[in-house]
Structure 1
Amino acid sequence: MATLRELMATLGLILDAVGVVIIAGGAVLALVRAAFRHPQDEGERYRRLREDLGRAILLSLEFLIAGDIIRSVVGDPTLLNVSILGLIVLIRTFLSMTLQLEVEGRWPWQRQKEPENP
């Protein structure tokens, strides 16, 4: 049983590391793309930079939440630990939803707008 706990703890840490790498890599990639992008105006460049960075953060939050949940399996299931996990997941989920609204202009449960035909 100790081996399974160690495996789950390691997997949780790996998922956290992947989330951090995605944030860092996404930030670098967003900045590089912004530097070489030739939009009509600076406002467009800034908007696209925010969208690229927001998408990287959204993806990384999914990995961080998964890491938290997996690590909770190996921890002591006390009321305090479960409450802390619930609060962390709630905060990260709220951040994901608001970032998606900002980046895509819609809530996660809303359908994508279909292009209008002339």
Structure 2
Amino acid sequence: MAEAELMPIIEAITLAVELAGIAVILAGILLSALAFARQLRASGADGAYKALRSNIGRSILLGLELLVAADIINTVAIEPTLESLAVLAGIVAIRTFLSFSLEVEIEGRWPWQKRARETTASRREGA
């Protein structure tokens, strides 16, 4: 297949991955809202609100991963120029920062830090 024949296929794949990322975010928000309403009736506002924020954050993280994948496909396969790679690097840097920020917001710790429970459990086993 010639390069010109592959371009529409690659563009369609890129669009499909972008749409999947958007769909994951929207579905996550909808499902999180439904779970929030159920939990709000069952246990009250405080626990339900924390679960809502956590679930929405996870949906956004997964959606961002798909959107980054679409950007990588688009840049590497369709427009492999130095300028497009620089734009991709900027997009990935911004989305990585957003991912780390969301992870801290959801988990209350940096992604590379162990959970307090895991650290405490390992100390007890080692003692």
Structure number with the bigger relative contact order (C-alpha 8 A, sep ≥ 6) is 1
User: Does the residue aligned with 1:26 lie in a helix, a strand or coil?
Assistant: helix
Deviations 1:17-42 (A, max 9, x none): 00000011000000000001122x41
Aligned to 2:87: 84
CA shift in 2, pair 1:110/1:8, >3 Å: farther
The reply on whether 1:23 has 2:25 as its aligned counterpart is: yes
User: Does the residue aligned with 1:111 lie in a helix, a strand or coil?
Assistant: coil
Distance 1:13 1:48 in 2: 31
Overall identity of the aligned pairs, in %: 39
Could you tell me which of 9, 12, 15 is aligned with 2:11? 9
Aligned residues: CA RMSD: 1.8
Q: What letter corresponds to residue 78 of structure 2 in structure 1?
A: G
- Cα distance, 1:116 vs structure 2: 4.2
Structure 1: tracts of 5 or more residues without a match = none
Structure 2: tracts of 5 or more residues without a match = none
- Cα distance, 1:102 vs structure 2: 1.1
Could you tell me which of 43, 46, 49 is aligned with 1:43? 46
Structure in which a larger fraction of residues adopt helix:
2
Question: Residues 12 and 71 of structure 1 are in contact (CA less than 8 Å); yes or no, is this contact kept in structure 2?
Answer: yes
For 1:90-105, list aligned pairs within 5 A: 90-105=93-108
Q: What letter corresponds to residue 64 of structure 1 in structure 2?
A: L
Q: In terms of Rg, which structure is larger? A: 2
TM-score (norm 1): 0.87
Deviations 1:38-90 (A, max 9, x none): 22x41221111000100000100000000000000233333332221111111
Q: What letter corresponds to residue 47 of structure 1 in structure 2?
A: K
Question: Residues 26 and 56 of structure 1 are in contact (CA less than 8 Å); yes or no, is this contact kept in structure 2?
Answer: yes
Query: How many aligned positions are there?
Result: 117
CA shift in 2, pair 1:109/1:5, >3 Å: farther
Structure 1 window deviating more from structure 2 (108-117 vs 50-59): it is: 108-117
